[in-house]
C-alpha cells in the first residue's frame, strides 16, 4: 500500500545521483518535502559545469532540472580555496590535476604547489554554495569551513581533499574524524542546514 501522505508532499529535486546525500537531506527536512535525486526523475544526461564560479555551477545544475523537468530543485558546488595559491583550486577543485584527475592526483598537485610554504601560511577554506530554484525563483545559501592545508596526507576517512585539510581549531584532518563530527563543522553541513532552515521557514 502506497504512503498517500508521502505522495502528497511537495517534491524537491537534489541535483545529485548520490542516493545517500539525498537521503541525508530527506531526514533533515522530515515530512515537509519529498526529496528526489537525479536518478529518481530519470535525469541521466551530463550537466556541464562550465561556469567560472561555484555559484554559477550550482545555478546551471538547478536550472537544468527546473527548465527541463519542470520540478523545483537545488544543487550544490564546492571549492577549496587556498590563500597562498590566490584562491586556487577554487572552481576547479574536482579537476585540479586535469579532467581525468582523481583525489590522489589532485592532492599531489596541491602539495607540490605548496612546497616550501610553511604551515602558518597554508590557510585555506572549503566553500559550498547551494542554489535553489523554486517556482522560478532563485535563492542561494552557502557554508564555509576555515582551516589550513597539512604538510602531508593523514587519515583514511572521508573523500577528496579530506586527508590534507585541517579544519580551524583542530590538529587533525577531515580524514581522521568521524562522518558525524565532520558534518557538524563542514562547509557542506553548514550549507545544507542553512538551506533546510530556509525551506522549513517557508513550508
Please measure the distance between the N-terminal and C-terminal CA atoms of the chain and give it in whole angstroms: 27
Which H/E stretch holds residue 127? strand 123-134
38-71 b/e (C-beta count within 10 Å ≥ 16 → b):
beebebeeebebeeeebbebbbbbbbbbbeeeee
Cβ-proximal residues to 15 (8 Å cutoff; 6+ apart), any chain: 38, 47, 61, 62, 64, 65, 73, 74, 75, 76
Rounded Cα distance, 38 and 22, in Å: 10
Which is the catalytic residue, given 3, 77, 83, 162? 77
Pairing of strands 73-82, 11-14: parallel
Is 77 among the residues known to form the active site?
Answer: yes
| Cell matching residue 89 | 583550486
Pairing of strands 123-134, 73-82: antiparallel
Cis peptide before 186 (omega within 30 of 0): no
Catalytic sites, residue numbers? 77
Amino acid at each position: 500500500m502506497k504512503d498517500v501522505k508521502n505522495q502528497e508532499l511537495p517534491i524537491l529535486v537534489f541535483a545529485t545521483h548520490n542516493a545517500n546525500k539525498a537521503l541525508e537531506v530527506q531526514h533533515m527536512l522530515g515530512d515537509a518535502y519529498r526529496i528526489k535525486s537525479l536518478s529518481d526523475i530519470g535525469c541521466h544526461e551530463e550537466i556541464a559545469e562550465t561556469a567560472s564560479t561555484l555559484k554559477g555551477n550550482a545555478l546551471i545544475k538547478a536550472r537544468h532540472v527546473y527548465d527541463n523537468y519542470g520540478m523545483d530543485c537545488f544543487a550544490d558546488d564546492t571549492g577549496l580555496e587556498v590563500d597562498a595559491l590566490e584562491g586556487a583550486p577554487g572552481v576547479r577543485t574536482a579537476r585540479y590535476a586535469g579532467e581525468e584527475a582523481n583525489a590522489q592526483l589532485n592532492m599531489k598537485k596541491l602539495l607540490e604547489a605548496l612546497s616550501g610554504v610553511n604551515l602558518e601560511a597554508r590557510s585555506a577554506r572549503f566553500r559550498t554554495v547551494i542554489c535553489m530554484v523554486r517556482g522560478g525563483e532563485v535563492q542561494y545559501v552557502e557554508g564555509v569551513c576555515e582551516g589550513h592545508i597539512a604538510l602531508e596526507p593523514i587519515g583514511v576517512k572521508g573523500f577528496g581533499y579530506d586527508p590534507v585539510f585541517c579544519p580551524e581549531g583542530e590538529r587533525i584532518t577531515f580524514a581522521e574524524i568521524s562522518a558525524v563530527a565532520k558534518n557538524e563543522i563542514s562547509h557542506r553541513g553548514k550549507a545544507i542546514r542553512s538551506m533546510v532552515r530556509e525551506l522549513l521557514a517557508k513550508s
